[in-house]
Structure 1
Amino acid sequence: MNVFIGWALDRAERETLLDLFPARYANPVADHVTLAFRPARPKLPSATAGEIVGEADDGRGVQAMVVRIGGTTDRPDGSTYHITWSLADGRRAKESNDVIRDCGWRAFDAPIPISLEPRLFKP
């Protein structure tokens, strides 16, 4: 089963964040931060807060916000904590990992605190 664990964005906070960082592409996502995809033993994370610290955008349809949780942007699997922010038609959320890795990301001058809800996702 394709389950994953991570954090959901607070729904009310999501709307405020989308006003602060408008979606550049037709399909706003701004839903969650992944900790692990298909974990062997799904255990919810304990963190309940993070910070948006930067942005990645390939200019072709993938916009993502880089997130710092527990003092790091590094996920245990070697990728980067992020929120897929918006997508153009035909693009997929999992492409955010590639965009961050291949294009890098731009740090913001000041981090934006966010609330995070630990969750098991079953797409």
Structure 2
Amino acid sequence: MAAGGFVGWELDREDRRQLLARFPARYAEAVADHVTLKFGDRKAQAPTARAGEIVGEADDGDGVQAMVVRIEGTTDRPDGSTYHITWSLAPGRRAKESNDVIRETGWRPFPEPIPVRLTPRAYQR
């Protein structure tokens, strides 16, 4: 994997469509694309898990909305951050800000987890 790339999971396209209907994007750009496992590691291998659960949401009220994801029983990424899907962004905001929003403001758990299908992928950026 090239420097700057990452490994993780692509959100199933049908699940994405249904989830965006259930949880509309609050900001102009609907992202709702993937979950990152590891960023910028040339030797990182694609993960093996193929399913997860959306267990909550974070929103800073200023342009970053993210869904928190549990994979193999945890929301904790190996780097100490939280598994998530950047859901939507306002102009000028970037997907990587989801990590900061979750860390700084926390997240709101959902009453019931929502299953999602995930496809392991290595992304080049």
Match of 1:62?
A: 64
Superposed displacement of residue 40, structure 1 = 3.9
User: Which residues in structure 2 correspond to 1:32-43 (within 5 Å)?
Assistant: 32-43=34-45
Q: Distance in 2 between matches of 1:97 and 1:104?
A: 10
Q: Distance in 1 between matches of 2:15 and 2:64?
A: 21
Superposed displacement of residue 42, structure 1 = 2.0
Detail structure 1 runs of 4+ shifted over 4 Å in the superposition: none
**1:49-101 residue CA offsets vs partner (Å, 9 max, x unmatched):** 00000000000000000000000000000000000000000000000000000
Q: Distance in 2 between matches of 1:50 and 1:85?
A: 16
**Residue type at the aligned position of 2:75:** T
Structure 2's unaligned 5+ residue stretches are none
Q: Distance in 2 between matches of 1:75 and 1:40?
A: 18
Match of 1:114?
A: 116
Q: % of aligned pairs identical?
A: 69
Q: Distance in 1 between matches of 2:31 and 2:66?
A: 9
Matched residue SS, 1:79 = coil
Give the superposed CA RMSD. 0.6
Superposed displacement of residue 3, structure 1 = 0.7
Match of 1:26?
A: 28
Match of 1:12?
A: 14
Aligned residues: 123
Match of 1:73?
A: 75
**Residue type at the aligned position of 2:72:** G
User: Which residues in structure 2 correspond to 1:98-113 (within 5 Å)?
Assistant: 98-113=100-115
Superposed displacement of residue 11, structure 1 = 1.0
**TM-score, length-scaled by structure 2:** 0.97
**TM-score, length-scaled by structure 1:** 0.98
Q: Distance in 1 between matches of 2:45 and 2:9?
A: 12
Q: Distance in 2 between matches of 1:25 and 1:40?
A: 33
